[in-house]
A and B are shown apart, each in its own frame.
Chain A
Amino acid sequence: MKQTNLAESAEPVIEIRDLCVTYRGRGRGQSDRLAVNNLKLTVQRGEVFGFLGPNGAGKTTTMNVLLGFVNSSSGEAFMFGANVREPIARQRIGYLPELTYYYKFLTAEELLRFYARIFGIPRPEAERRIDAVLKLVELETVRKRPIKTYSKGMQQRVGLAQALINDPDLLVLDEPTSGLDPIGRMKVREIIQRLKNEGKTVFFSSHELGEVETVCDRVAILHQGQLKVEGRVADLARQHQCNLEQLFLKVIGYN
C-alpha cells in the first residue's frame, strides 16, 4: 500500500515527452513554422510551476496541446497519466485563459452551474461549490447579474471561479494577472498560494517575473520553441548568480 502511494505521488501531474508542434504555412511562400521543438517537461504534484518565455516562444502552443486545442506533430503529453487527447485528462484540471470571455447572456451563477454539470458534479454539491467560489472571488453580490454587465476585472474573477468550480488538482493559468490592477494581482497570488498550501498543482505562464519569483517552486524558460532552462528558482539564481529577470534576458540572448 505504501509503495502504491509512493508510486502515485511520484507520477508527474504533467508529463511532456519530445513534443513537437509545427504550424503549416498558409498561402504561397510561407514555410512551416516549428512552434515547439522537442520539449521535455515534467511537473510534479503540489508544485507551482512557472512557464516563461518571450512572446512567440511556444508557451501558449504548449498549453493548447495540454488542453487538447491543438494536436502535436510528434511526441506526447500526459496529465495525471492520461493522454491529453482523451477528455478524461481534463476531469481534474481548471483552466483560466488569458482572455476571459464567457457567455454574456448568462449570470455568473448560471455559468458556474453549467460548467459544474459538465464536470458531473451533483446538484447539491455544485450549489455549495458555487457559493464557495463566488465568495472566494468576491462576486457574491453580483452573481445574478448577466456577465455582459461586468467590468474586465470582474470577468477575470468569473474566469477564476470557473477554473476552480471542480476543485481541480491541477490549475492551468495563462497569464492570470494580465490586465488586472495591483489589488487583483495580489488576490490572484493569494489564491495561488492557498492552492499550493492545499497541495494542488499550479502550472502558469506569465510575463510578470517578479510574481513568478515569489510564488513559483520551479520555472522553465522557453525560447523559439525550445526549453532553455528548467529548475528551482533558488537553484537557478544561485547557479547563474543573478535574479530571474536577468537570467531570462540572458537565456533569450538579450544582454
Chain B
Amino acid sequence: MKNILAVSGIVIKELYRRKDFYVLFILTVLLCLVMASVNIFNDKNIIRYLKEICLLLVWIASLVIAITTTARQIPAERENRTLFPLLAKPLTRSQLLLGKFLGCWLACGLALLCFYLFFGLLASSREHYWPLVNYFQAAALHWVMLGVVIALTLFGSLVFTAPSSNATICFVVVGGILLLGRHLNKVALPLPEPRRSLLYSLYYAIPHFELFDVRDLIIHNWPPIAWRVCGLASLYALAYTAVFLIAACMIFRRRALN
C-alpha cells in the first residue's frame, strides 16, 4: 500500500505543478463571474440559469482534467524513460498502475473541491442559501464517476500508444455515454434482431455516467437523494472501476518495456 500511496503522491504533485489545472480553474471562474455580473430582465430566477451553465463548465473542466491527466501518465513515463528506474525498484507494475489511478482520482477530487467550493460561494452569494447536503451528494457522485472515467482512460493508455488518441477516444466515449447512453434502449426497441440484441447488450455493458449527473439537485434545490441510492451508485461505479483496472493490470503485466 505504501508504494501505491508513494506513486499517487507524485501524480498529485505533478498536477499542481503543471499549469493545466490553474488555467482551467481560472477560465471557469472568469466565465462564471462574468455571467454572474449580468442581470437580465431583473429576473430573480436568473440564478438557475447561472447555476446550470456554471455546473456544465465544472463538469467539462473536470472531465478535461481527469482524461488529459490520466491519458499521459503511462505513455509519458515510457517516453521520458522515468519508468525504468522506477520499475527497477521493488515496485510491481500493478502497484504502479494503482498508484497512478489513485493519484489521478485524488487529484481530480481536490480539483472538484475547488470548483464546487467556488461554485457554492458564487451561488450562495445570489441565493443566500447553501444546501450543503445537496452539494455534497452532487460532488461525491461526480467524484465517484470520475473514478470510472480515470480507470477507463488508464486502460486506454495501455491499448492506444499515443496519449492524444487515447484522450480523444475517451472524450468521445464518455461524451457519447453521457449524451446518448440513456437512450440506447429506446433506440433498440424498434430495431429488428440481431441489431436489437446488440444494442441492448451495449446498453447494459456501458457504464451509465448519466446516473451520477445530479446537477438538477443543485439547480432546482430538490430534496437530497436517499443515502442508500448514493451508496448503490458508488458500488456500481466501484465495480466498473475494478473491471477497467484489472484489465489494465493484466495488459501492463505482459507488456515488454524495452
Contacts and interface: CB of A to CB of B under 8 A. Distances in A.
Closest 7 interchain pairs by CB?
A: A95-B88, A69-B257, A117-B6, A87-B90, A105-B17, A101-B81, A91-B90
Nearest to A104: B80
B10 A114 contact: yes
Interface stretch (A59-67, A217-225, A234-242): A59-67
Interface residues of B, number: 24
Contact of B256 (A69, A101, A172): A69
B90 A118 contact: yes
B9 A114 contact: yes
Contacts, number: 76
A70 B257 contact: yes
Interface of B: 2-3, 6, 9-10, 13-14, 17-18, 80-82, 84-92, 256-258
Nearest to A93: B88
A90 interface: yes
B6 A118 contact: yes
B95 to A, nearest CB: 8
Of the listed residues A61, A87, A102, the one surrounded by the most CB atoms of chain B closer than 10 A to its CB is A87
A68 B92 CA distance: 10
Given A101-B81, A103-B10, A118-B6, A67 B91 contact: no
Contact of B85 (A88, A97, A119, A120): A97
Contacts of B9: 114
B123 to A, nearest CB: 34
Nearest to B96: A118
A61 B92 CA distance: 20
A87 B85 contact: no
A106 B6 contact: no
A95 B6 CA distance: 19
Contact of B10 (A60, A101, A106): A106
Contact of B87 (A60, A61, A67, A102): A67
B153 to A, nearest CB: 20
26 contacts: A60-B258, A61-B258, A64-B257, A67-B84, A69-B257, A69-B258, A70-B257, A87-B90, A91-B90, A97-B81, A97-B84, A97-B85, A101-B82, A103-B82, A115-B85, A117-B3, A118-B86, A118-B89, A118-B90, A118-B91, A119-B90, A120-B2, A120-B90, A159-B85, A162-B85, A163-B85
